Chain A
Amino acid sequence: MSVSAPVKLTIKDYKSELHNDWCPGCGDFGILTGIQMALAQLQLDPDKVAMFSGIGCSGKTPHYINAYGFHTLHGRVLPVATGGRLANTALTVIALGGDGDGYGIGAGYFVNTGRRNLDFTYLVHNNNVYGLTKGQASPTLSKGKRTKSMPEQAIQDGINPIAMAVAAGYTFIARAYALDPKHCAQIIARAIQHKGSALVDVLQTCPTYNDLYTKEWYEGADLPEKKSRLYKLEERGYDGKVQDPSDPEEIVAKKAAAVARSYEREPIPIGVYYEALLPTYEDEIYKRIPSLKDTPLVEMDTFHRDVTPLLEAMR
């Protein structure tokens, strides 16, 4: 994590001046605010933060944040962010993208990035639809569901991103709700602080195309008792944190508990499902190249290396 700037930074310091073109009421606003609140909470120097995004409505997020921002390719944000993180381990790296980006076209990278346990944060804006292309089913929409933008019901089932993240190896797995930016910010801040790969799947509304999972639906406005369809894990005594990371049995038990919770429907749990402090990819690199621990790759003098020994060995 980078050093705090001397002056106290507020949420305003993380806002760019670019006009925002998301639809009014878009869940992305809540996530954007959540990110900015988390950055302010952690007092991260905007020059030491690199945001990476995929393609889609959510992909525009870095443009609205006052930090280094890379709006990359559809589905490839994780490899790009990984390359960035490896080049400069002194920076805070946050990647984000939509559910189609991360769990569909980018599913291979979602899985393989989890295997590395690189120290970075990945936020998925999960709204069950492809918004920017006008509302097709995303990989999280369940079989048989049909939003107003779809000509037919979803013919295939949705995936369970939390369970997938557990299987892949993410060491911090949480779910947040875009329209509760304060809670979302807390979760994001914890994810950033976590040493290792952190996934935050943020449930998000798409007021334009997703008429199934609306603000009202999440709030349970249609239910007789008008009870929220969400509940916070920590409020029900759930603790997903592995106390002893050297104990494989505890790890498996906590993973199993997280997976079990991830299949709960109505109410849907939000909060931290799983957390474990395990060696990161960086730790493994430092074992191989110890000098990288103090000097990020980008600061190393790599030029005109002495290759004479390699050539001599070829005589």
Chain B
Amino acid sequence: MQKNQLTWMIGGPQGSGINASAEVFAKACSRAGLRVYANIEYHSNIMGKHSFYRVRVGDEDVRSYRDNTDILVALDHETLAGDGDHRRWATHFGHLHQLNEGGGVIYDSEIDFDPSQSGRPELRFYPVPFMEIIKKALEEVGKGEQARRYEVMKNTVGLGASLALCDYPFDLVGEVIRGQFKGKRSEVGELNVRAARLAFDHVRDNFDADGFPYTLKPGPEPKARILAKGYEIAAIAKLKAGCALQTYYPISPATDESVFLEKHQREYGLLVVQCEDEISSINMAVGASHMGVRASTATSGPGFALMVEGIGFASITEAPGPVLVLYQRGGPSTGLPTRQEQGDLLFALHPAQGDFPHIVTAPGDLRETYQDIFSAFNWAERYQLPVIVLSDKKLAAIYTTIDKLELKYDQIDRGALFTGSEWTSVDAKGPNDGHAANGNGHGNGELKEYLRYALTKDGISPRSRPGIQGGRFWSTTDEHDPDGHITEGVEMRVAMMRKRMGKLALVAKAIPQDQQFTLHGAADAELTIVAWGSTKGTVLDSIKVLEAEGKKINFLQCRLMRPFPAQAVGDILRNAKRVVCIEENYSGQLATHIAAETGFLIKDRINKFDGRPFSEDEMIAAIRGALAGKTEAVVTNVR
């Protein structure tokens, strides 16, 4: 039986509105009960360079993209043929080679393009007069002469035409378009619906669309799913967790999260501050954390490179935060600003000088992102340390259906607090290094006053905040004594290092196992795949396909990176028949981390570092290769 699924792609120059069309289509599918996985590839450029958006939809869960598409909507020549004709070193070769057999290509008939010379003459080509259709739509409201001003509606024309091909109900899409243009702009919305409809009719009337092999029906029944982007879920998690201050400096692909929060800051009473640089962002968030609010920031690799001193600062001063979402992108340096890479794991694990505790976690999908960011604020406050949540360009930008967004662990935990109503009951006895003999009465085992860095049994000193009567304290980035005054004394140094570093063991015990790692699939597999972060969905989709062929593969998804569940992960790997680590970076950073933490060296590593995420097809090929003992680097099929 033919599955009800489809991959639809639109390509065009940046600024041509491909996002709008793709997202309208995605929404029209989601609302009708289909599952959606949509992802965009774009250049670090405002206008003109090639971008494309692909939307994979179907009845079954989709968690990755496919190499090939069934329908391509081309807004320009480059989408068809690539940029080899005007660049010395071609960036890409157009998308015709990515069409499934018999697939359809809708393109602007004004484009100088000859299908017979395209190299894929067997495809179905549908030249559509985009501007004529826009003009016609405008004529209906007496604005026919303004067509050039409405050229941006070409994207809608392309969308409308494609719906006729795959036989998708037009009204579902029309409704979404109307929803995007509310209030004063509703007139523009109607205009867009009209243009899309004319394009839809044009294809019906002028081509034999009935024979098109790739059709799509609405789902069996509409489901109340949400269709969300990764950065939106990250932002919503922060709102839910009680984040009071978000700081940021603009950087792709992290900015969207902060802008989303800023858009909603009035209704939620959350302050968003755009800083002068990332050093300011992190330090502002550290200052606010010490002052007692839940603070966070979001950045990408180049910004994180500036923030690192703030991580050390937060950690040695035992700040109850901040939470930092690090959206990885292609590195090093400026690298590939808008492209995918899992290249910052080792950097996030060792971001600054000295040994200090912090938490690093790497959720694998949007639901895990929601939970981990929410939990991160609790961890930061309970253990008084900074928390890094590793995300990436793919997780930030995917637009995908989520059945239900809920928190399994939904308690707010602010950790041990000095309330001011009574003296803390902690035992403040600590080594006297001579320097602390300042007459405050501590060092003799009897607590006479509040000590911010009291040496407690578990290493966690109840925290105060400025403004609390009697909770006064000092804090310094120098090594310090329980008062928070500078010390260079040997005993105190050792005690404070042990106090701080010891917190990691508490974290390791407290974080639920299912937030640390997951072994997907049966224990007795012929191959164990190790991966982390946003490749989760791709690995799961691929395994599903290979399982149907009778292959027995399981998948160890590493999520909590620091403290690392070394014992459990090591046990799984040592018992595995064969292990391969698959990552979207050059060197295999997780494999390196695992070797350091567990002593288990994964030699078979499959890496992809071309700035594009694994497609399902590439992942399947890579796993097949691994099964056959081949572990070559993967270069994207989609160029």
Other-chain contact of A83, B228, B236, B242, B287 (Cβ < 8 Å): B287
Residues of A within 8 A of B486 (CB): 60, 63, 71
A300 adjacent to B269 (CB under 8 Å)? yes
Q: In the assembled complex, how far is the CB of residue B285 from the closest CB belonging to chain A, in whole angstroms?
A: 6
- 8 A Cβ contacts from A89-124 to B: 90-91, 108-109, 111-112
Check: B551 CB closer than 8 A to any chain A CB: no
Check: B273 CB closer than 8 A to any chain A CB: yes
Residues of A within 8 A of B438 (CB): 17-19
Q: How many residues of B contact A (CB 8 A)?
A: 72
Residue of A nearest to B465 (CB): A298
Report A272-315 CB contacts with B as 1/0, cut-off 8 Å: 00000000000001001101100001101011110100110011
A304 adjacent to B247 (CB under 8 Å)? no
Other-chain contact of A84, B268, B277, B287, B470 (Cβ < 8 Å): B287
A73 adjacent to B309 (CB under 8 Å)? yes
Q: In the docked arrangement, what's the CA distance between A277 and B318, Å?
A: 37
Check: B202 CB closer than 8 A to any chain A CB: no
A73 adjacent to B475 (CB under 8 Å)? no
- 8 A Cβ contacts from B464-509 to A: 465-478, 483-486
B466 adjacent to A73 (CB under 8 Å)? no
Q: In the assembled complex, how far is the CB of residue A74 from the closest CB belonging to chain B, in whole angstroms?
A: 9
Q: Which of A42-50, A135-143, A256-264 makes up part of the contact surface?
A: A42-50
A108 adjacent to B244 (CB under 8 Å)? no
Check: A72 CB closer than 8 A to any chain B CB: yes
Q: In the docked arrangement, what's the CA distance between A84 and B310, Å?
A: 15
Residues of B within 8 A of A285 (CB): 271
A84 adjacent to B291 (CB under 8 Å)? yes
Report B304-319 CB contacts with A as 1/0, cut-off 8 Å: 0000011001000100
Residue of A nearest to B469 (CB): A47
Residue of A nearest to B243 (CB): A302
Q: Which of B1-9, B219-227, B338-346 makes up part of the contact surface?
A: B219-227
Check: A178 CB closer than 8 A to any chain B CB: no
A50 adjacent to B291 (CB under 8 Å)? yes
Check: B412 CB closer than 8 A to any chain A CB: yes
Residue of A nearest to B484 (CB): A69
Q: Which of A83, A111, A311, A314 has most B Cβ within 10 Å?
A: A83
Q: In the assembled complex, how far is the CB of residue B55 from the closest CB belonging to chain A, in whole angstroms?
A: 16
B224 adjacent to A315 (CB under 8 Å)? yes
User: How many A residues touch the partner, as a band?
Assistant: 35 or more
Check: B266 CB closer than 8 A to any chain A CB: yes
Report A25-56 CB contacts with B as 1/0, cut-off 8 Å: 00000000000000000000011111010010
A314 adjacent to B232 (CB under 8 Å)? yes
Check: B288 CB closer than 8 A to any chain A CB: yes
B244 adjacent to A87 (CB under 8 Å)? yes
Check: A130 CB closer than 8 A to any chain B CB: no
Check: B593 CB closer than 8 A to any chain A CB: no
B292 adjacent to A288 (CB under 8 Å)? no
Residue of B nearest to A295 (CB): B269
B293 adjacent to A304 (CB under 8 Å)? no
Q: In the docked arrangement, what's the CA distance between A52 and B405, Å?
A: 41
Residue of B nearest to A291 (CB): B269
Residues of A within 8 A of B291 (CB): 50, 83-84, 87-88, 91, 298
A73 adjacent to B244 (CB under 8 Å)? no
A69 adjacent to B474 (CB under 8 Å)? yes
A80 adjacent to B269 (CB under 8 Å)? no
- 8 A Cβ contacts from B430-486 to A: 438-440, 465-478, 483-486
Check: B31 CB closer than 8 A to any chain A CB: yes
Given A304-B242, A311-B236, A315-B226, residue A47 in contact with residue B471 (CB < 8 A):
yes
Q: In the docked arrangement, what's the CA distance between A19 and B487, Å?
A: 12
Check: A81 CB closer than 8 A to any chain B CB: yes
Q: Which of A80, A87, A112, A288 has most B Cβ within 10 Å?
A: A87
Residues of A within 8 A of B30 (CB): 315
Residue of A nearest to B284 (CB): A83
Q: In the docked arrangement, what's the CA distance between A297 and B243, Å?
A: 10
Check: B286 CB closer than 8 A to any chain A CB: yes
Residues of A within 8 A of B309 (CB): 73, 76
- 8 A Cβ contacts from B258-294 to A: 264-266, 268-271, 273, 275-277, 279-281, 283-294
A-B contact pairs, 24 of them (CB 8 A): A18-B438, A49-B466, A50-B466, A55-B477, A69-B473, A69-B484, A71-B478, A72-B477, A80-B287, A82-B273, A82-B284, A84-B287, A86-B271, A87-B245, A109-B280, A289-B266, A289-B271, A303-B412, A305-B242, A310-B236, A311-B236, A311-B405, A314-B226, A315-B31
A contact residues vs B (CB 8 Å cutoff): 16-19, 46-50, 52, 55, 60, 62-63, 66-73, 76, 78-84, 86-88, 90-91, 108-109, 111-112, 285, 288-289, 291-292, 297-298, 300, 302-305, 307, 310-311, 314-315
B contact residues vs A (CB 8 Å cutoff): 30-31, 224-228, 232, 236, 239-245, 247, 264-266, 268-271, 273, 275-277, 279-281, 283-295, 309-310, 313, 317, 405, 410, 412, 438-440, 465-478, 483-486
**Interface pairs A-B: 6 shortest CB-CB:** A83-B287, A83-B284, A87-B291, A71-B476, A303-B242, A112-B276
